A and B are shown apart, each in its own frame.
Chain A
Amino acid sequence: MQGTLMGIAFPFSAIVGQDEMKLALVIAAVDPKVGGVLAFGDRGAGKSTAVRALAALLPPMSAVVGCPYQCDPADAAAQCADCRARSKPGGKGKKPAALKAHEVPVPVIDLPLGATEDRVVGALDLERALAHGEKSFEPGLLARANRGFLYIDEVNLLEDHLVDLLLDVAASGENVVERDGLSIRHPARVVLVGTGNPEEGELRPQLLDRFGLSVEVKTPSDLPTRIEVIKRRDAFETDPVAFVAHWEKEEAKQRKRILAGRANIGSVKVSDRELEQAARLCMSLGTDGLRGELTLMRAARAAAALDGAKAVDDGHLKTVAPMALRHRLRRNPLDDSGSSVRVERALNELFAS
């Protein structure tokens, strides 16, 4: 369903149900390093609504004025070469010039179907090349999505080489452009959010595994929930401004939770016992590589930070295990028992013993 109406996003807290999808997005907002969210599910279940709503929920961020990558003025390590050069002390003992900053909303950039590679990674700036014969770089979608979200609807229909490229950038946090005689690298710390409908074709397992979290989205099946969805949606469409105002308090609460989570996450402890539990879980499920364990721990830590907890406990592990692992199972592609069920089973076995 549509995520925005005349530029106003549907409030995140007003989304009925879809708890797992919401949690996955919030975890990705607290710790972007979990590596993207993949949401597979029915049409019209509110996947894109949730993504847009989350972006509207997040507080504006401080960015360097005029920087095409919205660099953070406070974080020198993650700045682009240009910003770093400008903030460095000058050669003759000058004081570092403070970078001018302004508040910008967290970007949510849509990657439309049919987008070409040069628009995604950036390319030679045609206009300047034509007008002045000069070689300059025109940043692409990845630049615009830096420090925000890149939303790919129908990720399973996207060409494989583009998905590959995106996952590469998302994992490294940097976009390296070597084309048109340009050689540029710029920060691209992007949370990928991919959605799709498995009926229309699937993602290759190699790509699947590289998304951090994966959720299954279903249209709610019980009547009261459905009525509530329609009521809220209808109220929003009739009067978006009033509807958003009505939910502002809830939104503020949610926002506070995310901010607190971000502040806390550095101090959340992970005991050896929990690490062992995570490793055991991954072993019993037979996930390939260590990526599963890493994501599981990261996500659990973010979940703990959201709860305001000091350390990760079994509960956090249990909550995030399905979304962190279900797409990593070495699977018989024709096995009908869903991977969610298998993760659930392994969890029960692990925590029962």
Chain B
Amino acid sequence: MSDGAAIWADAMIAAALAAIDPGAASVLLRAGAGPVREQWLDLLRELTPSTTAVRKLPPSISDDRLLGGLDLAATLQAGRPVMQRGLLAEADGGVLMAVMAERIAPSTIAHLTAALDTGSISIERDGLSLRAPARFGLIALDEGIDDERVSPALADRLACHLDFGAVARADLGESLFKSTDIAAARELLPQVRLSDDAIAALTTTAVVLGIDSLRAPLLACRVARIAAALDGGTDVAESHIACAARLVLAPRATRLPATEDDAGSNDAPEPCDDQPESEEDHSNDGPLEDRVLEAAQAAIPADLLKRLQDERAARTRASSAGRQGTAQKAPKRGRPIGSRRGEWRAGARLNVLETLRAAAPWQPLRRRTQPAGKSSRLIVHKDDIRITRFKQRSGTTTIFVVDASGSSALQRLAEVKGAVELLLAECYVRRDEVALIAFRGRSAELLLPPTRSLTRAKRSLAGLPGGGGTPLSAAIFAATELALAVKAKGQAPTIVLMTDGRANVARDGGGRSEAEAEALVAAKQLALTGIPVVLVDSSPRPQDKAAQLAGAMQARYVALPHADATRLSQAIMAQAGRG
């Protein structure tokens, strides 16, 4: 059987499991739209009993629709607040299909995970308070390419992870299960027993595969139960545990199983009373663990190591995968600062509460002047309409562009790092965002997308290597691009460029003279955007190269001969104040 066919076989089992108990066997499916995915979804639909409703969750769903809120039309009609049920509450008992799951907004993710955790939603908004059950199965369709991935918080809560990347059409086979099997398994599920050995085997396997989250083994336990029910048994057998390990644990592996000795040393033997007992346990279910591990190992993608490396690199860049890092702050709409009387046009946010409040005192009076028969309705006049005003907290994003090339010798780099850290601390106190671009060798790299998290900034800065050429122009272009993106989000960017100004690598790989000319061009383009720039000359003896560059980009020029971080931060703060 080819790899693709093996994946497809497992995927069909996953579909059956999801049909039996969507709440426990939730699925994260990574695949582009296409015949393979279509066939799997068809299969799932076929197997899912008709009593189970399937709802779609679009990635850009608004909070109102997701959670429910005030139904404006009905509220005005009835003259009292009327609630509207949200998608999460409507999906209770059914299945929610999240399309383009990698693009779900962070706030939506937060609500989704909360609902998955508690099996209910609670709403405290628009002057209403409501708790509704929301136990649903989630099928997340991840259509991301490259490092675009579903939010880790959501992925952690989804049981079976499938990736159809390696499945070709030729691998597709006929379904192994019929809807009668599903019905029988649903009946059987409550009676299925899971032994302690099985739990231990799954937990151990998770540890050996380097899976930190405790949710993974827990989900695996549930999946093993459903697999047993699908098989028509009431006891979870080894094959079911192996199946759970393949579907739940293998895709989450962060390292390949170590040899016996290494695995032993990972257990961190702690001097506690039940040590002998637990050791005994180990020897007992050792073989079972090994067999489960083997099964899981067989399902680990062949390119795991490479993928891990990529991911590790991605993690140092963004710490959380995919769009999360950059989208973190996207839903910022500012803080509401009251409301004003106004017209309700497209784009304006009607403040329902204030509108009703404005209308409330007049109701008895207006009712008296209304023709009889219509008196029960709430009478809202145009004058009552209130529009919410937002105050956009114009946060600053400081983009650090750090020269990590060989011409800034290594100890200089350490000094620059120190200065950046001090500036970060300053930004941290002011709740500004920071981003970090480093350039060395042939290219500039965004090490840290705009963030407020110090932990992350610290980590990416610590891992910053030095040496290589100075691709200054690439760095200036990258910084300009990022600054414009930040500006588009409504933030005020400031660029802090730390370099000695001696470019020697052009973008097309050209030598020193081209590189310097290109850097000047890039600098002039940056000047056109009007984004405030501080150029910090980090060479031991400041020369006019850097000053010239600063002139071209209309930047404030600060020489940093002794890495005087206090002076530097003052210069930048002054710039930010001016900008």
Residues of A within 8 A of B (CB): 1-6, 42-45, 48, 110-116, 118-120, 123-124, 126-127, 129-131, 133, 138, 141, 153-154, 157, 159-161, 180, 198-202, 204-205, 219-224, 226-227, 229-231, 233-234, 237-238, 332-334, 336
User: Are B79 and A131 touching (Cβ within 8 A)?
Assistant: yes
Chain A positions within 8 Å of B132 at CB level: none
B110 at the interface (CB under 8 A from A): yes
Which B residues lie at the A interface, using CB under 8 A? Answer: 63, 67, 79-81, 107, 110-111, 114, 117-119, 122-129, 153, 156, 194, 196, 199-200, 202-204, 206-207, 212-215, 217-218, 221-222, 266-268, 270, 274, 278, 281, 319-320, 328, 335, 353, 356-357, 359-361, 363-364, 378, 421, 424-425, 428-429, 431, 451-456, 458
Which residues of the partner chain B approach A333 to less than 8 Å between Cβ atoms? 424-425, 428, 454
- Verify A222–B268 contact, CB threshold 8 A: yes
**Complex CA–CA separation, A43 to B454 (angstroms):** 18
Beta-carbon contact of B353 and A118 below 8 Å? yes
Give CA–CA (A254, B67) in the complex, Å: 37
> In the complex, how many residue pairs between chain A and chain B have their CB atoms under 8 Å apart?
169
Contacts of A180 in B (CB 8 A): 357
Q: A126-B353, A154-B110, A223-B207 are in contact. Are A201 and B452 (CB under 8 A)?
A: yes
* A-side contacts of B364, CB under 8 Å: 133
8 further interface pairs, Cβ-Cβ under 8 Å (given A112-B114, A116-B125, A234-B199): A4-B118, A129-B361, A130-B80, A198-B455, A199-B455, A227-B199, A230-B214, A230-B218
The reply to whether A2 and B278 contact each other, CB–CB distance below 8 Å, is no
Q: Which B residues are in CB contact (< 8 Å) with A160? A: 431
Interface centre among A111, A126, A204, A238 (most CB of B within 10 A): A126
**Min distance, Cβ A283 to any Cβ of chain B, angstroms:** 24
Residue on B with the closest CB to A231?
B199
- Nearest B residue to A232 via CB reads B199
In the complex, the answer to whether A221 meets B268 with C-beta atoms within 8 Å is yes
Q: Decide: B199 and A161 in contact? CB cutoff 8 A.
A: no
Q: In the bound complex, what is the Cα–Cα distance between A221 and B126 (angstroms)?
A: 43
Q: Decide: A119 near B218, CB < 8 A? Known: A5-B119, A334-B458.
A: no
Q: A181: nearest residue on chain B (CB-CB)?
A: B357
Question: Which residues of the other chain, B, contact A153 by a CB distance below 8 angstroms?
Answer: 114
Which of A3, A123, A226 is in CB contact (< 8 Å) with B207?
A226
- Which chain B positions have C-beta within 8 A of A230? 199, 202-203, 214, 217-218, 221
Set of chain A residues within 8 Å of B353, measured between Cβ atoms: 118, 123, 126
Contacts of A205 in B (CB 8 A): 429
Q: A116-B126, A221-B268, A226-B217 are in contact. Are A126 and B356 (CB under 8 A)?
A: yes
Give Cα A221 to B203, complex, Å: 11
Contact between B213 and A226, CB atoms less than 8 A apart: no
Given A1-B218, A200-B453, A202-B453, A224 and B278 touching (CB < 8 A)? Answer: yes
Residues of A within 8 A of B431 (CB): 160, 204
- CB of A234 within 8 A of CB of B218, answer yes
Can you show 26 pairs from A to B with CB atoms below 8 A apart? A5-B119, A43-B213, A45-B214, A114-B67, A114-B125, A116-B124, A119-B129, A123-B127, A130-B378, A131-B79, A133-B364, A157-B110, A201-B328, A202-B452, A202-B453, A219-B214, A222-B267, A223-B268, A226-B206, A230-B214, A230-B217, A237-B222, A334-B421, A334-B424, A334-B425, A336-B458
CA distance A126 to B267 in the complex (A): 59
CB distance from B574 to the nearest CB of A (A): 22
Taking the closest CB of chain A, its distance from the CB of B415, in whole angstroms, is 15
Q: How far is A238 from B193 in the complex, measured between Cα atoms in Å? A: 9
A-side contacts of B319, CB under 8 Å: 199
Evaluate whether A161 and B335 lie within 8 angstroms (CB atoms) in the complex, with A4-B118, A199-B320, A221-B268 already known: yes
Contact B124 A119 (CB under 8 A): yes
Q: Nearest chain A CB to B122's CB is how many angstroms away?
A: 5
Min distance, Cβ B556 to any Cβ of chain A, angstroms: 25
Contacts of B67 in A (CB 8 A): 114
Cross-chain contact B357 with A129 (CB below 8 angstroms):
yes
**Minimum CB–CB distance for A46 against chain B, Å:** 8
Residues of B contacting A130 in the complex (Cβ-Cβ under 8 angstroms): 79-80, 356, 359-360, 363, 378
Q: In the docked arrangement, what's the CA distance between A113 and B67, Å? A: 11
By beta carbon, the residue of chain A nearest B418 is: A334
